Amino acid sequence: MQRSIKFHRFVLSLTLFLGLVSSLALPAFEQELVRAAPDAQTATTIVISEFRVRGPNGGNDEFIELYNPTSSVVNISGWTIRGSSDTGTTTSKAVIPVNTSLESGQYYLLTNSNSSGGPYSGSVLGNQTYSSGISDDGGIALTLSDGVTIVDQVGMTTCVGCYYEITPVSSLGNTSASNLDRGYERDDGDLSDSCVDSGENATDFSLQAPSNPQNSSSPLSLCGVVLPTLTPTNTLTATATPTETGTPTNTATITSTPTITPTPTCAITTTTTPLALVINEVAWAGTAASISDEWIELYNPPGGVGCVVLTGWVLRAEDGSPSIGLSGVIQDGGFFLLERTDDFTVSDITADQIYTGDLVDGGEKLFLENLGIRIDSANIDGGSWPAGSSTNYRSMERWIIAADSPSTWVTNSGAVRNGQDAGIPSNGCTPNVTCTTNPQPINGTPRQMNWAAMVTPTATRSPTPTRTATRQPTQVPVGRPVINEFLPRPGFDWNQDGDVDVFDEFIEIKNLGPVDINMRGWTLDDAANRGSNAFTLPDLVLKPGQRAVFYALQTNILLSDGG
């Protein structure tokens, strides 16, 4: 953790401008101590939720539990479990089988099958086994299919090459006296599920004794909220069985028919409410397999209009190409994936709809409409796309459900990805046509929570009011935003894009006032009329004590080391 910095030293001169006219004079900013790390946030992708590296049977009586804390299904086919020793040597432990996806709130359990010092002794059955154990003071990483891109990691020691995040958890020993039914579980554990991810192991994990492993058959629960589960319906079927006398005898057999309860009700909606559905992600640059492999993702914000039948909805570009009459259903809190031309664009995720027509790399306006009324847009200002990249085929992701503006969008960093491209040639790599290049991870998150969700504001406890000795005249309360924290020289991959660079710099704003304040129209800048261009804040409401973190990857404000 870096040492605190006082604002009055003026190590960095940051100016927070008010872009909206107001008749209220803003109180002077107080001196604030700043920390070098943003506050904890809710996990936004698959996490390692619980693990044990030694149990009653010995050193191989272990398990690794994964959990999906997101609101959508995540395909983890081909993802790998890797382990690191206390010297940084890393090896592959398991590869998740093909056609493996985790529902929202679902667990996945891997158990050690090695009988030497094992095997796993728990009563909850594993979904998959592995035979090469995790070091007692080592680390565990969950990676994408490339075996390199880390989705989550946890460790019990620090070293170059070791898997851990900032501060590891403590080793639980490596002797027979340590052969106990205990391990580490991610907070908030047990009935509240494992949804906390601050990026620091010692903060995120707590000792769990006895261990509490769960598998894919455990009840679905999203951060403490019980979800609908698959329940079998038994049906009696009469079949004729011949007997020695030649007289058939009817025998009842039981077959199991899975049904989902309860069944969401979808309806054709006449809503014209802005942002009822949103354009959530645009891959205007295509993929590494083909620049023509473009895709677009829609999102139905949870708790809004509910499940929607898309009959009558249209997604169109201002120039008329593409112009898509939508069909199908988008669930409450769900995603809707549109792939251009064919279903090979995102080769391992089935498209909800195929469309034709290309997106101009130089930028164009997109409109989402119902009954001819605009519900949402993308790149409403026109000109170049506000985010995304044609050099490395990174998608343009929405980071906040707010009115469309350039500051609503960021470029996928590659830290969190989902789905694979078509490979080269882009033909789905059929058995009759060999891929020149195998399908590769897409620099985007089709049908999954956006990487950009990591830069959403996080709530903190409101300050405790101090009682005054004398009665004061009543004043109109105002919000009070301050630059609460900033980092001009990062030494850690704060934005989790895989690189430690200037784009890890961040500025944190906090509302010290007693009432909500809308930051729309305010701007961040490093110097008046020079330096980086000013960044206009989006339509964002900060409650008392609430903070918002803005990374340089989003703002393009690069902080000078010299002030």
Confidence of residue 312 (pLDDT cuts 50, 70, 90): confident
Minimum mean pLDDT among 17-26, 276-285, 431-440, 507-516: which range? Answer: 17-26
Last residue of a domain, one of 221, 246, 274: 221
Q: Running DSSP on this structure, what letter comes out for residue 475?
A: -
Residue 240 inside a domain? The answer is: no
Assess whether pLDDT exceeds 70 at residue 453: no
Do 114 and 18 belong together in one domain? no
The sign of the torsion formed by the CA atoms of 81, 87, 88, 92 equals: negative
Higher pLDDT, 223 or 264: 223
Assess whether pLDDT exceeds 60 at residue 71: yes
Residue 251 inside a domain? The answer is: no
Against a cut of 0.95, is the pTM above it? no
Assess whether pLDDT exceeds 60 at residue 236: no
- Residues of the chain with pLDDT > 90, as a percent, come to 39
> Stretch 119-133: mean pLDDT, rounded?
93
Assess whether pLDDT exceeds 90 at residue 165: yes
- 542, 516 contact by CB (below 8 A): yes
Minimum mean pLDDT among 30-44, 129-143, 177-191, 276-290: which range? Answer: 30-44
Confidence of residue 329 (pLDDT cuts 50, 70, 90): confident
Q: Please report which helix (H) or strand (E) contains residue 32, including its range.
A: none
Do 319 and 408 belong together in one domain? yes
Mean of the per-residue pLDDT values for the chain? Answer: 78
Do 139 and 209 belong together in one domain? yes
Count how many domains the chain has: 3
Confidence of residue 31 (pLDDT cuts 50, 70, 90): very low
Do 447 and 350 belong together in one domain? yes
Q: Tens digits of per-residue pLDDT, 464-485?
A: 444 544 444 444 445 678 888 8
> Stretch 492-498: mean pLDDT, rounded?
77
Residue 428 inside a domain? The answer is: yes
Do 363 and 426 belong together in one domain? yes
Do 330 and 216 belong together in one domain? no
> Stretch 542-556: mean pLDDT, rounded?
81
Assess whether pLDDT exceeds 90 at residue 399: no
Last residue of a domain, one of 452, 485, 503: 452
Task: Quote the domain boundaries for residue 522.
Answer: 1-39+458-466+474-563
State residue 41's pLDDT score: 56
Assess whether pLDDT exceeds 70 at residue 152: yes
Assess whether pLDDT exceeds 50 at residue 358: yes
Do 76 and 126 belong together in one domain? yes
Residue 57 inside a domain? The answer is: yes
Distance separating alpha carbons of residues 377 and 411, to the nearest angstrom = 17
CATH of the domain at 216: 2.60.40.1260
Confidence of residue 169 (pLDDT cuts 50, 70, 90): very high
Assess whether pLDDT exceeds 70 at residue 461: no
Half-sphere exposure in the Cβ direction for 446 (13 Å, CA): 29
State residue 500's pLDDT score: 82
> Stretch 438-454: mean pLDDT, rounded?
82
Give the closest residue to 510 by CA, choosing from 489, 479, 538, 535. 479
Residue 227 inside a domain? The answer is: no
Which residues share a beta bridge with 128?
110
Confidence of residue 429 (pLDDT cuts 50, 70, 90): low
Do 514 and 368 belong together in one domain? no
Confidence of residue 2 (pLDDT cuts 50, 70, 90): very low
Residue 300 inside a domain? The answer is: yes
Do 144 and 34 belong together in one domain? no
Residue 232 inside a domain? The answer is: no
Q: What are phi and psi of 315, to 5 degrees?
A: -115, 120
Do 317 and 419 belong together in one domain? yes
Minimum mean pLDDT among 190-199, 283-292, 497-506: which range? Answer: 190-199
Minimum mean pLDDT among 323-332, 442-451, 536-545: which range? Answer: 536-545
State residue 558's pLDDT score: 81
Residue 247 inside a domain? The answer is: no
Last residue of a domain, one of 221, 236, 269: 221
State residue 439's pLDDT score: 86
> Stretch 170-175: mean pLDDT, rounded?
91
Do 99 and 185 belong together in one domain? yes
Assess whether pLDDT exceeds 60 at residue 537: yes
Assess whether pLDDT exceeds 50 at residue 241: no
Do 138 and 197 belong together in one domain? yes
Nearest 5°: CA angle at 127, between 126 and 132?
Answer: 70
State residue 37's pLDDT score: 41
Distance separating alpha carbons of residues 370 and 229, to the nearest angstrom = 32
Q: Tens digits of per-residue pLDDT, 256-282?
A: 433 333 444 566 667 788 999 999 999
Contacts of 458 (CB under 8 A, 6+ apart): 38, 39, 40, 41, 546, 547, 549
> Stretch 491-512: mean pLDDT, rounded?
81
Tokens of 493: 């991959």
Distance separating alpha carbons of residues 309 and 507, to the nearest angstrom = 41
Q: Tens digits of per-residue pLDDT, 360-393?
A: 999 999 999 998 899 999 999 999 999 999 888 9
